[in-house]
Amino acid sequence: DTGVSQDPRHKITKRGQNVTFRCDPISEHNRLYWYRQTLGQGPEFLTYFQNEAQLEKSRLLSDRFSAERPKGSFSTLEIQHTEQGDSAMYLCASSSTTAYGYTFGSGTRLTVV
């Protein structure tokens, strides 16, 4: 068990470009979450999957954001037409059906210039 893996660790992009992040959860975890954390703040919920089904999506998630988990394993988070306000740490976490409390990955830090 290697924990939750996120790739890349850092991403610098120009405003208007599209970016995609990947998250590989712990293999036996069927729940996967995405959070966003800006400097000096706690993480904010973005979306949540159980297996391949996206069960909840925050109102924070504009139409420029889309997340998928096509086979119920890894997940991707795509941001289209990035804006400077998208600069943040994007955190992925996973959990099992029977246990409360997530395991977080190390995050992807996005900087939009």
Partner 1 sequence: AQSVTQLDSQVPVFEEAPVELRCNYSSSVSVYLFWYVQYPNQGLQLLLKYLSGSTLVKGINGFEAEFNKSQTSFHLRKPSVHISDTAEYFCAVSEGGAQKLVFGQGTRLTINP
Interface residues toward partner 1, by CB under 8 A? 4, 6, 31, 33, 40-45, 48, 55-56, 91, 93, 95, 100-107, 109
Which residue's CB is nearer to partner 1, number 48 or number 112?
A: 48
Query: Six-digit token pair at 74?
Result: 């890894």
Instruction: Report, in Å, the least distance between residue 106 CB and partner 1.
Output: 5
Which residue's CB is nearer to partner 1, number 80 or number 87?
A: 87
Q: How far is Cα 81 from Cα 23, in angstroms, rounded to an integer?
A: 21
Which residue's CB is nearer to partner 1, number 91 or number 110?
A: 91
| DSSP string of 5-27, one letter each residue | EEE-SEEEE-TT--EEEEEE--T
Instruction: Report, in Å, the least distance between residue 48 CB and partner 1.
Output: 5
Phi, psi of 38 (to 5 degrees): -95, 165
Query: Six-digit token pair at 90?
Result: 């994007």
